[in-house]
Amino acid sequence: MPASLMMIAATFLFATMGVCVKLASEFYDASEIVMYRGLVGVVAMALLARSQRLSLKTAVPAMHFWRSLSGVLALSLWFYSIGKLPLATAMTLNYMSSVWMALFLIGGAVMLGSARVDGRLVFAVLLGFAGVALVLRPTIDQQQLWHGLAGLLSGMLSALAYLQVTSLGRAGEPEIRIVFYFSMGGVAAGALTSLASSSWHAHSLRGVALLLAVGLLATAAQLLMTRAYGRGKPLVNASLQYLGIVFSFIYGALLFHDAITVSALAGMALIIAAGLAATQLRARSTPADSQHSVTES
């Protein structure tokens, strides 16, 4: 299968996973969904590693811990926002990770004083945040500001997870091992949070089916996206990745009757444009990293 088709399939699966998360949020808290999604990922990665005779033992446990911490926090906030916001809005805010990456690059350049800040990168960041303001405008009107901020923070933490995935890749860690320990982190964090808040819910056939769907869809999407970035052109893949917002918008309108507003559409368009611009400028400044622009959150 061509890399572009794998990327399109991955974005469709992630959007479909978002639908299942939104439906599952009627039965479970976000921490429970994160835990069960991680459990499915652990089993799937363990079986895949066994079939490929790949050892899951790692020489860099601390790196996996920090990657899992940021990734699980991002995933938890994303799932929480999916349950509380229109599906396309939650997806768009999470996809702000490319814009956050650009902001991190700008901050690093300013702090080190070793590089001139690219004005185009600054413009991309400002464009992205202008899009956020437009997307969140209906959220504020509905007194759901915290839900929107949770989605926005999920994108920022996803960007941090991307940095850590890049570092793990440079340390020679295979994708299966990275996803395995990330899933382990999800199981641990979800279980501890659920225990602390006593938020365990009884299972039903529908609920279990939705949890299983979330885990399987996420795992399949991750593998497809990883292979797409390994075989295809990074900028083409990054562009196709934003189809996830389009798929989520269609799902939200058809299944959940989410309101279609001009400001939300304009904001999504600005965030997509900012993300594409930031990705392209980042790839030019750090070409060695362009093959590792895949996050597991």
Give the CA distances from residue 32 to residues 29, 58, 196, in Å, rounded to whole numbers and listed in that order. 5, 27, 12
Residue 146 placed within a domain: yes
Residue 61 placed within a domain: yes
The owner of tokens 């690093």 is 108
Residue 219 placed within a domain: yes
Residue 101 placed within a domain: yes
Summary mean pLDDT of the chain: 83
Would you state the structure tokens that stand for residue 208, as one six-digit string? 């279990």
For the stretch 131-175, pLDDT in tens is 877 876 655 555 567 888 888 899 889 888 877 887 888 888 888
Residue 200 placed within a domain: yes
Closest-CA residue to 248 (of 88, 135, 10, 93): 88
The owner of tokens 């020679």 is 172
Q: What is the mean pLDDT of residues 168-183?
A: 89
Q: What is the mean pLDDT of residues 197-202?
A: 84
Domain tally, the chain: 1
Q: Tell me the pTM.
A: 0.81
The answer to whether the CB of 91 falls within 8 A of the CB of 244 is yes
Range of the domain at 227: 3-292
For the stretch 238-273, pLDDT in tens is 677 788 888 988 898 899 888 778 888 888 888 888
Residue 150 placed within a domain: yes
Residue 297 placed within a domain: no
pLDDT at residue number 199: 75
